[in-house]
Amino acid sequence: ESLTSINKNQISSVIIDFNKHEKVNPIKDTNASILTHMLTTFSNLEYLNFCPSSIWNYRLFFWNPYPHISSSTLLELHISLIRFTDCLYILDGRFIKLQSLHVDINSISIPLSKLININQEKLPNLRSFSLYCGMATTAYDKLILPLLQRMSNLENLRLNILVYDKNQFIDGNDLKENILNHMLQLERFEFYICSDFYFYNQIDFPSKEDIQYTFKDFKSDQVICYIDYFEENQRSLCHIYSYPYILKYYDIITNNFPGGLFKYVREVELYDERPFEHEFFLQIVQSFPFIKELSIKNLKPQNKKFCKESENNKYDFMIIKYSYLTNLTLYYAHDDYIEEFLIDTNICLPNNSLHLNINYEQRKRVTHNFTRDLTRINCAKLNSLCLNGDQLPIYAKDYFPQL
């Protein structure tokens, strides 16, 4: 039914989404115009979800001069943005009744130029706020905390962020002093925060128990903490999160991951400088049974490999089933992990629903120039393929019949 035949004053909720793999030139982006049109067309709009898929090409960004976007009725907004300054623009008073804001931001970084015409007043009407950023930020103290401290009447808060280059881990004391003490009405605080610092030749490190102790007075059901120390890069990571875990994303999972059930998580990133063995991928699918998007960043070869082509198999591995996987990214993965997912006796992939991101040369090596029988079944299941700018040769088309 067309918009012209609908009584626009009766529309109170709108969801706008886009084709996930459609190619769009960001320079010709018209999303701000679409948003403006929605807000002016539906004069009684109370709920708007703009691009829940969080696709880069469809994230909103606002350039100076900023478009005139406002609403006197909107109560709840879900939106995907490119920059943190776009979030500040949303919160500068143009949505006077806004009570709930859920933001997925591509990048949180300090702008090169001084911010102007940005309202820094308190946000007394805001009751619920959710912030996710998949890219690590160094602006936790200068951007994220000042924004949160404006939300004095917040009742529900969700944070899913990666914080880099701090001189100490973010712990319960940090959260209490810089966030919770500014939100006396807060009832629910759900979070995953991964913070890192480079320890170089430092000897005295905070322990898991030290970090865990700082959460002894938290109201959350449970707070889980674990710490990674990477000797090669002289880098340390501290993961803290509330449990039960109801967030959509879980970034930077390592071999130290303590397990648990995360039935709401749909997107996962694995990273380590130690090998991921086959059993680790079984643990991942058991902990994240409904995982849809998986990214693996690990350049270390596996210690234990299983391959039917070898006559000296020492291990009897269980076939792991990733039933709901729709997107797999292996750009920064050792060939062993590409084999792990492409050999059907290791992992069973869903049929005709999986998009694979992989480097062409790796794909060529692992499939033995697209002739290897052991990887043929899972390659035949692929729905789409991105080779990081390269093209699949014509002679390999039969190896991927559904592309």
* Calculated CA dihedral for residues 115, 116, 122, 128, nearest 10 degrees: -60
Q: Look at residue 308 in the predicted model and tell me its pLDDT.
A: 52
Q: Look at residue 17 in the predicted model and tell me its pLDDT.
A: 75
Distance of CA 400 to the CA centre of its chain: 29
**Between residues 27 and 21, which one has the greater pLDDT?**
21
DSSP state of 389: T
Q: Look at residue 356 in the predicted model and tell me its pLDDT.
A: 97
Nearest CA to 327 out of 57, 25, 54, 133 is that of: 54
pLDDT-based confidence at 16, cuts 50/70/90? confident
Asked if pLDDT for residue 116 goes beyond 50, the answer is no
CA distance 45 to 97: 11
Q: Look at residue 76 in the predicted model and tell me its pLDDT.
A: 97
- What are the tens digits of pLDDT across the range 372-397? 999 999 999 999 999 988 999 999 99
Looking at every residue in the chain, the average pLDDT score rounds to 88
Asked if pLDDT for residue 1 goes beyond 50, the answer is no
Asked if pLDDT for residue 113 goes beyond 70, the answer is no
Task: State the first-to-last Cα distance of the chain, in angstroms, to the nearest integer.
Answer: 33
Question: For residues 206 and 213, is the Cβ–Cβ distance under 8 A?
Answer: no
Q: Look at residue 205 in the predicted model and tell me its pLDDT.
A: 79
Asked if pLDDT for residue 364 goes beyond 50, the answer is yes
Asked if pLDDT for residue 148 goes beyond 80, the answer is yes
Q: Look at residue 305 in the predicted model and tell me its pLDDT.
A: 78
Residue located via tokens 């803290």: 240
Overall average pLDDT of the 315-323 stretch: 83
* Cis before 393 (ω within 30): no
Question: For residues 172 and 203, is the Cβ–Cβ distance under 8 A?
Answer: no
CA distance 347 to 340: 7
pLDDT-based confidence at 27, cuts 50/70/90? very low
**Between residues 198 and 123, which one has the greater pLDDT?**
123
Question: For residues 262 and 236, is the Cβ–Cβ distance under 8 A?
Answer: no
CA distance 49 to 77: 6
pLDDT-based confidence at 307, cuts 50/70/90? low
Determine what percent of the chain is predicted with pLDDT higher than 90. Answer: 67
- What are the tens digits of pLDDT across the range 161-192? 999 988 889 999 999 999 999 999 999 999 99
- What are the tens digits of pLDDT across the range 186-234? 999 999 999 998 877 666 778 999 999 999 988 767 999 999 999 888 8
Ranges assigned E (strand) in 9-165 = 13-16, 47-50, 76-83, 100-107, 128-133, 156-163
Overall average pLDDT of the 284-294 stretch: 97
Query: 0.75 cut: is pTM over it?
Result: yes
**Between residues 335 and 167, which one has the greater pLDDT?**
335
**Between residues 272 and 317, which one has the greater pLDDT?**
272
Nearest CA to 276 out of 226, 232, 337 is that of: 337
Asked if pLDDT for residue 82 goes beyond 50, the answer is yes
Q: Look at residue 5 in the predicted model and tell me its pLDDT.
A: 53
**Between residues 236 and 118, which one has the greater pLDDT?**
236
Q: Which amino acid is at 36?
A: T
Asked if pLDDT for residue 345 goes beyond 70, the answer is yes
